[in-house]
Structure 1
Amino acid sequence: MSRKRGFEIITAYKDQNIHLPKRSTKHSAGYDFEAAEDIVLPSIWKMLFKHTAVKMHQWIYTGTKEEVAESIKKEEHVLVPILVPTGIKAYMQEDEYLQLTNRSSNPLKHFLVLPNGVGIVDSDYYGNTQNEGHIYFQLLNFGLYDKTIKKGDRIGQGIFLSFLKADGEEDLSQMKDRMGGFGSSGVR
């Protein structure tokens, strides 16, 4: 029997008691993903105030417009999402992708969002040379306090979907092969 779609544990997590994603009920569309390790998601408010409190005084009272713009640009790295590892890779057919979505309880109960809305795992991400196809969830904590995610906590869902191609894409020789891992489609 040939494999159509499914999940595997990446090599780096083989002996770390990682669970393959599974559906919770008979009619669930999404496969629940768990965190592969403990991780702390800092509150964006804490990060914002911690890193900019001193700068705010400078911006308001001493900075020129250009100095303020430059200082803000330097501080943008502070408000970045955290990549939560799953220890999982997914295989699927060429005309399919795995859509990563938030759990409905995450924003309401835990103040966690996927800042990219949904994640897209392409079929050629599986087994890539950079990270073996390791799936991460980007999460941002908009709560007032840091959120600790424990290994085994459910952090998101994955849904296998088919996609359609536009007319005129029959010549695939013009397209590049994937060369890396996370965020590596190579097109800007």
Structure 2
Amino acid sequence: MHSDNNSIPVLVKRLPHFEGLELPAYATAGAAGMDVLAAEDVTLAPGGWHAVATGLALAIPPGYEIQVRPRSGLALKHGISVPNAPGTIDSDYRGELKVILINHGSEDFAIRRGDRVAQLVLAPVVQASWLKVDELDDTARGEGGFGSTGGVTALGN
């Protein structure tokens, strides 16, 4: 396994139904996400969703996660997305990596074994700790939320 200043080794186990597929890979030198392939055939009906098998199990290093993100071309051209985007694969999960896909389009969408279905982004994780206080500091925004800083011009905000 090769490691340098720009890469973190992630252990990958190829499950039997991965046979003949390629490991996730960066499409270009500047890509942030690796394309991951489907290890099964499935058809998504409009409004339907499915956890698409990849045939891979991972050991992500502690202090990292893998984010599962939609592929922009599938989203734009067919309405196919990851409903919990970005999905998170935790460092202590050892089961099969599956990609939850949803069809927001108006037609059935066929996924074939070997199709690129999502992008995987390795990202550092910082865990929070809670500090209980009676009051919070004041800010210019205060408690304003849900569009309080502006929004869609057509809606008048």
TM-score by length of 1: 0.61
Paired-residue identity, %: 31
More strand by share: 2
State the 1:92 CA deviation.
Answer: 2.2
Q: 4+ residue stretches of structure 1 with deviation over 6 A?
A: none
Structure 1: tracts of 5 or more residues without a match: 45-78, 127-132, 169-188
More helix by share: 1
Match of 1:160 among 99, 122, 133: 122
For 1:95 and 1:146, the matched residues in 2 are separated by 39
For 2:85 and 2:15, the matched residues in 1 are separated by 28
Larger RCO (CA under 8 A, 6+ residues apart): 1
Match of 1:111 among 79, 101, 105: 79
CA contact (8 A) 2:15 2:56 kept: no
Match of 2:9 among 5, 29, 48: 5
Partner of 2:92: 124
Report the residue type matching 2:97 in the other structure.
I
Structure 2: tracts of 5 or more residues without a match: 131-157
State the 1:82 CA deviation.
Answer: 0.8
Report the residue type matching 1:105 in the other structure.
G
For 2:117 and 2:11, the matched residues in 1 are separated by 16
CA contact (8 A) 1:97 1:122 kept: yes
Task: Tell me the matched-pair count.
Answer: 126
TM-score by length of 2: 0.72
Distance verdict in 2 for CA 1:19–1:134, change over 3 Å: same
Give secondary structure in 2 for the equivalent of 1:107: helix
State the 1:24 CA deviation.
Answer: 0.4
What RMSD over aligned residues (CA atoms) do the two structures have, in Å? Answer: 2.1
